[in-house]
């Protein structure tokens, strides 16, 4: 039953466990919903390099989000 | 000089200091970049209710992001 949800999820797999912050143009966080029962985190890469799903369970991904939150202005 | 950056930012103002999590379909976090020198947080609302900028300085918004990160599966 739970697997049915995946059909309308954006991410087909568990996603990357690590990514370099300087490659990231935008991070999208999508809470679980009726159309996808799992949280999804999608990174849009710079230079039109597409989108990558990130693994919300990954400690590195969680740290990345904290670092993005802390980086409020350009140094 | 810093103000010039705003011209290509998505958010025209400082953004909302609070929003209800159950109204949020998606959260976008955009780190500072050459085209916009400030961090931007954009919430896409459910039911096609559009997008709202959130204030990254707001403690409530920061807590919201933590709560979204913690909510990995639907209860």
Look at residue B9 in the predicted model and tell me its pLDDT. Answer: 93
User: Can you give the pLDDT at residue A5?
Assistant: 42
Query: Is A39 in the B-facing interface, judged by CB distances under 8 Å?
Result: yes
Q: Do B26 and A29 touch (CB under 8 A)?
A: yes
Nearest CA to B24 out of B66, B56, B64 is that of B64
Place of tokens 């011209």: B7
- Calpha distance A6→A22 (Å, rounded): 30
Q: Give the Å distances, CA to CA, from B67 to A44, B9, B61.
A: 22, 26, 10
pLDDT tens column, A9-54: 999 999 999 999 999 999 999 999 888 999 999 999 999 999 999 9
> Spelled out in words, what is the top-level CATH class assigned to the domain A2-70?
mainly beta
Q: Which residues of A touch B30 (CB under 8 A)?
A: 25-27
Q: Are A54 and B69 a contacting pair, CB within 8 Å?
A: no
Closest partner residue to B73 among A27, A29, A37, by Cβ? Answer: A37
Contact B26, A28 (CB under 8 A): yes
Degrees (nearest 5) of the Cα angle B64, B70, A65? 70
Q: What is the pLDDT of residue A22?
A: 92
Contact call for A65 and B62, based on CB within 8 A? no
Alpha helices in A1-75 (DSSP H): 2-5, 59-70
What are the sequence ranges of the domains in chain B? 2-70
Tokens of B57: 């300085």
Q: Which residues of B touch A74 (CB under 8 A)?
A: 32-33, 37-38
What is the number of other CB atoms lying within 10 angstroms of the CB of residue A24? 20
- Which of B2, B20, B31, B32 is the best residue to mutate to test the A interface, defined by the most A CB atoms within 10 Å of its own CB? B31
Chain A contacts of B39, Cβ < 8 Å?
68-69, 71-73
pLDDT, tens digit (0-9, with 9 covering 90-100), for B12-41: 999 999 999 999 999 999 999 888 999 999
Instruction: Search chain B and give the residue with CA nearest A37.
Output: B74
């Amino acid at each position: 039953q739970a697997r049915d949800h995946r059909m309308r999820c954006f991410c087909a797999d568990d996603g990357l466990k690590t990514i370099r912050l300087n490659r990231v143009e935008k991070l999208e966080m999508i809470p679980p919903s009726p159309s996808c029962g799992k949280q999804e985190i999608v990174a849009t890469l710079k230079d039109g390099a597409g989108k990558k799903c990130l693994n919300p369970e990954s400690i590195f991904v969680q740290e990345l989000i904290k670092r993005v939150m802390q980086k409020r202005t350009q140094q």
